[in-house]
Amino acid sequence: MSGDRPTVRAFGAKPHVDRNPLEGSNRRAYQGGFNCELVPASEPQGAPRNRPGPDKIRLALAALLLLDFVVAVVMLVTDKNLQTNFGAQKAYYSHWYGVLAMALVDVVGATVVLVFSFPSSADGTPGLLRRHVGLVALAWSLLAVLAMVGIVESYSQVGFPSMTEFEKYLFGTSAYPGALSYIPWLYDFLLACYLLTAVVAVIVVWRSRSKAAG
């Protein structure tokens, strides 16, 4: 005997087996050889998925439409000339209802754009509207601008002797002589808000078409 000591194993003990550390869900057998490839384990069911965040440009568009709504409501409440046609009739004059309609379109548009700003909220909505929501907002804001500028053609309906005098009332920064209570600069501010809304809507349309083309 060369001094080798015999291996002693207790009765009933299980033999030691070297386990392959690559054994399990992260092992893919390589046929015909001894190499193996590590692959990531499959994602467990129910794990949260990373969803894209809200579209900040669309959020800005929704905020501007909401601002348009707020300014229009302030005008409806404070402008006595708009309510009574400069005191010529009882409330409410037809132009007042026109501004009311504009305010309602603004708040509905702001809500729709806000919904489409979040991918999770937009799921299940018509794809055509989702893709062209910026174009609809652009068309509406431009229509509002044209209406606010074109209203000067109705100067005779509201008792002004000329279009120039009506323009002074609408776009002036100080109160028009003889007019009832109103905020002189509010009409200019609402017009500027609609113009800014149109600019942001152009950006939304451009981005949507860029993503579609890419």
Segments making up each domain of the chain, as ranges: 56-213
The one-digit pLDDT tens for each residue of the chain (214 residues) are 445 555 545 455 555 555 555 455 444 444 444 454 554 555 555 545 566 678 899 999 999 999 999 999 999 999 999 999 999 999 999 999 999 999 999 999 999 999 988 876 655 555 666 678 999 999 999 999 999 999 999 999 999 999 999 999 999 999 999 999 999 999 999 999 999 999 999 999 998 888 777 6
Quick check: pTM over 0.75? no
In DSSP notation, the chain reads: --SPPPP---TTPPPP-PPPTT-STTEEE-TTSS-EEE-PPPPPTTPPP------HHHHHHHHHHHHHHHHHHHHHHH-HHHHHTTTTSSS--HHHHHHHHHHHHHHHHHHHHHHHTSHHHHTTS-HHHHHHHHHHHHHHHHHHHHHHHHGGGGGGGGT-SSHHHHHHHHH-SSPPTT--S--TTHHHHHHHHHHHHHHHHHHHHHHHHHHHH-
